[in-house]
Each structure stands twice: as C-alpha cells, then as structure tokens.
C-alpha cells in the first residue's frame, strides 16, 4: 500500500511539474517568466567553472564596446515573455526573451534591448549565423517588404536603389565590433498568448563579428519599428521588467507588457527624450550618495544635454553601471574614506577590499528627480569565489567613448521592478524579489 501511495505521489508530482511548466509563463499567464543564461531552461551553454566575480568580469569586459555603441547612437542625427540573461554565447551580457515567429510559431530566444528599435532574427541560409534560425518557408504568414513601403524608410543603414522595385535591405552595426545585413520582412510575433500580426523585423542573411545575438534581438526602444510602436493599443507603450540575478536557476523574473498588472503606487521619475536618438531612455540623475553622504559633484556631469548626448540612461544591455570619470572618482573616493582598506583592483573593479569589512561598508543611493534608488548589498558588491574579497560593483566610463553619458546597467537593476511608461513619459523603480 505504501508503494502504491508513493507511486501515486510521484505521478502527481510529475503531472504538476508539467502543468506548471517551469520554463514557460506563470500559471495566470499575466507575466512571462525570466531565466538567467545558465539556468535549467536556457538554450545556451554554461561557462566553464570559474569564480562568480570572474564570470562578471568576463561579462563586463564587453561593456566598453556596448557603451561605445550607445555613444555612437547618441551621436547619430537621423503581457510578459520569458527572459534569460545572456552571456556565454551572446558575448555581451544581455537578457533573452522567448518568443515565437511565424505561423506555426518558431521559438527564438531574442535579446531584450531597451536601447534598440528594430527587431531582427537570423534566417535560414544565413552566413555566419548560429544553427538556430528562422525559416520563412515554414511560415504561412510570412511576407517580404519592398523599398516602396513606409516601413523601409524607418530603418537605419537602408540600401535601396534610386528607382525600380526591390526588397528592403539594410546594414547595421551592433555591440561596437560586429555588423550584419538583413532584409526587412513581416510575420506574426507571438508573446505568451498575444499575437502581433504583420510584425516588421530584419531577416538576417549575413553576420560579421561575435557580438550579434545568435537568435536575434527584440528592440524595446521608442522608434517607429520597435515592439511598442508596432503593437499599438495592445500594450499602449507600457512595459516593465524585473531582472533576476545571473545566478538564478529557474525562470523567476518577469516582463510585463501593457498597462494591466503594473504596480500602481510605484515611485516615478520623468523619462527624457533625445531628439537625435529617441530610442535611449534618459532620466534625470540629480546626485549620488555614499552611505548618508551626498557626493559633491559639479552639475554639468549630471545634466541632460540632447545636443551632446550627456546625461544618464537606463540600459538593459550593459552589465555594470558606468559613471563619467569625475562622478565615478568622487563616489570611489568617498567610499574609500568610509571603508577599511587596503584596496585592490580585480578586472574592471577598482575598489576591492576584505569581505569582512562589507558589514560596515556604506551602500550607494542613486538620486533621480522624484525618487531615490538605494541599492541593496547584492547590487552594490560582488564577491570572489573564496569569499575573501568584495568589490564595489561600479566602473568608470571608458576613456575612448562619449565621456558625458552615465549608464545605469542591469547588474544594479536586478531584483527591481523597472517600469517604462512611455505613453506618460515616466520611469518607475521599486524593489522586487525576482529570485
């Protein structure tokens, strides 16, 4: 009898696990879940065993190329889904969204990028692409777009003949060291239970470099070809996410698309817009505190200037928060005053100290217009695998890029609900345990 009862329990447990679908959306289907790149549900290979801080250093080593890429964008004048943090195969530490393209849907894990507009995916026959590609021939809803259509003029890097019919082709760079060529096409995009028909995206046919996401990218910027613009009233230009720690094993964060289910009492700060690059989500950073002390800093290192690109952006693709050199130096100097040394440098982290002193170490608070974001200990410090050293998890903007732009990165956003209410030009931040 005990054997039968145990067997019945196991059958029930397996059935429940299948019904719950730990790698799918949450039971109420209101949100889609989020996994890290090394989690059980990730399609990407885990890295070789190494210390946690070494893993982050490896991820953050791609940040300078990312920040340079964002800087180049600034200079130009022209329902929820599963997310996984992408590092090993993606080379840039991003998060990945599980979507379906076409009819019937073909599953793709696309990078979620708040600083890009156009979506793109590698298509069958692509040169330099990964083994997972989208097959247009297998989709009954697929359609090509030609140069005469208005969507074509909204793509950067457009390549169309002066006269005569032709497919809409374009070339773009990504990540600072890579590029691709694609044709603008349209097909159904499925996000959880929602379907966005005739969704325009780039069908990649050639890739050069290692930074282009292997299964594509879903742009959540504010441009005319972004998901927000193409979905129209479906999501009303509102979304939020809660990014889990890179160490999370199962889906546990979430991306909420649309106004339904968003936090009602969240503190917000105005979203600012750069007319030269409206995709980037600028906010007004008014100051930084180390412990209880507000760091003295000249206003010009914080001020938003759409002509130069100066100011502060929220970005999902950069790993470690970067501050302009004078602001970073002021934060680090004040931190060193309050924490017992000696201090060493590990990779991009210049302020590493004995972990035993962490209990006394001050926390960093980011002050925005209308709200303050006090970073919990896990968003402030990283530890070596032996646990003997802790590092302040911020870094300066690289010298070879636009030295005027601060970037609030995903390591500091983890375990926070970040609300992008584009319709009302506001950004909300609230602490939330994504893990």
How many Cβ atoms sit within 10 Å of the Cβ of residue 360?
A: 10
Distance CA 112, CA 25 (A): 17
> What are φ and ψ of residue 324, in 5° steps?
-60, 155
Q: Where are the beta strands (DSSP E) in 70-128?
A: 83-86, 94-101, 106-113, 120-127
315 is catalytic: yes
For 247, residues 6+ apart whose C-beta sits below 8 A from its C-beta are 36, 38, 52
Under DSSP, is residue 138 helix (H, G, I), strand (E, B) or coil? helix
Q: Which helix (H) or strand (E) holds 227?
A: helix 227-231
For 9, residues 6+ apart whose C-beta sits below 8 A from its C-beta are none
User: Quick one: tokens of 287?
Assistant: 């100051």
Place of tokens 């470690």: 320
Nearest to 200 by CA among 282, 265, 144, 130: 144
User: Quick one: tokens of 22?
Assistant: 């730990």
Of 113, 117, 187, 421, which residue is the catalytic one?
113
Cα–Cα separations (whole angstroms), residue 288 to 67, 295, 324: 21, 6, 12
CA atoms within 13 A on the CB side of 300: 4
3-state helix, strand, coil in the chain (%, to 5): 20, 35, 45
Of 31, 117, 315, 421, which residue is the catalytic one?
315
How many Cβ atoms sit within 10 Å of the Cβ of residue 121?
A: 28
For 393, residues 6+ apart whose C-beta sits below 8 A from its C-beta are 56, 320, 321, 349, 379, 380, 381, 382, 411, 412
**Residues annotated catalytic, as ranges:** 113, 315
């Amino acid at each position: 009898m005990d054997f039968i009862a145990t067997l019945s329990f196991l059958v029930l447990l397996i059935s429940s696990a299948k019904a719950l679908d730990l790698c799918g959306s949450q039971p109420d289907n209101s949100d889609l879940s989020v996994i890290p790149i090394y989690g059980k549900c990730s399609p990407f290979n885990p890295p070789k065993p190494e210390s946690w801080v070494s893993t982050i250093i490896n991820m953050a080593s791609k940040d300078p190329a990312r920040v340079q890429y964002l800087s180049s964008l600034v200079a130009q004048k022209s329902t929820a889904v599963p997310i996984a943090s992408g590092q090993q195969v993606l080379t840039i530490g991003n998060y990945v969204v599980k979507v379906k393209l076409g009819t019937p849907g073909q599953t793709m894990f696309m990078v979620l990028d708040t600083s890009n507009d156009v979506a793109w995916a590698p298509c069958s026959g692509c040169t330099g692409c990964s083994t997972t590609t989208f097959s247009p021939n297998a989709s009954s809803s697929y359609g090509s777009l030609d140069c005469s259509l208005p969507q074509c003029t909204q793509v950067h890097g457009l390549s169309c003949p002066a006269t005569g019919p032709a497919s809409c082709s374009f070339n773009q760079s990504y990540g600072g060291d890579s590029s691709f060529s694609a044709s603008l096409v349209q097909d159904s995009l499925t996000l959880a239970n929602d379907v966005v028909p005739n969704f325009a995206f780039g069908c990649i046919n050639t890739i050069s470099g290692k930074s282009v996401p292997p299964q594509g990218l879903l742009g959540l910027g504010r441009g005319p070809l972004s998901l927000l613009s193409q979905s129209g009233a479906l999501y009303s230009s509102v979304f939020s996410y809660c990014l889990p720690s890179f160490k999370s094993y199962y889906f546990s964060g979430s991306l909420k698309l649309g106004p339904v289910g968003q936090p009602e009492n969240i503190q917000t700060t105005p979203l600012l817009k750069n007319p030269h690059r409206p995709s980037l989500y600028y906010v007004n950073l008014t100051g930084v505190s180390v412990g209880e002390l507000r760091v003295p800093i000249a206003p010009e290192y914080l001020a938003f200037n759409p002509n130069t690109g100066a100011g502060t952006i929220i970005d999902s693709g950069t790993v470690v928060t970067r501050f302009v050199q004078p602001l970073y130096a002021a934060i680090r100097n004040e931190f060193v005053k309050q924490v017992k040394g000696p201090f060493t440098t590990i990779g991009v982290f210049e302020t590493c100290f004995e972990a035993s002193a962490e209990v006394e170490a001050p926390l960093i608070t980011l002050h925005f217009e209308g709200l303050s974001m006090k970073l919990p200990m896990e968003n402030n410090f990283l530890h070596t695998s032996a646990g003997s050293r802790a590092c302040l998890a911020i870094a300066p903007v690289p010298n070879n890029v636009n030295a005027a732009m601060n970037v609030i990165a995903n390591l500091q956003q983890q375990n926070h609900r970040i609300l992008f209410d584009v319709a009302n030009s506001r950004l909300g931040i609230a602490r939330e345990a994504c893990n």
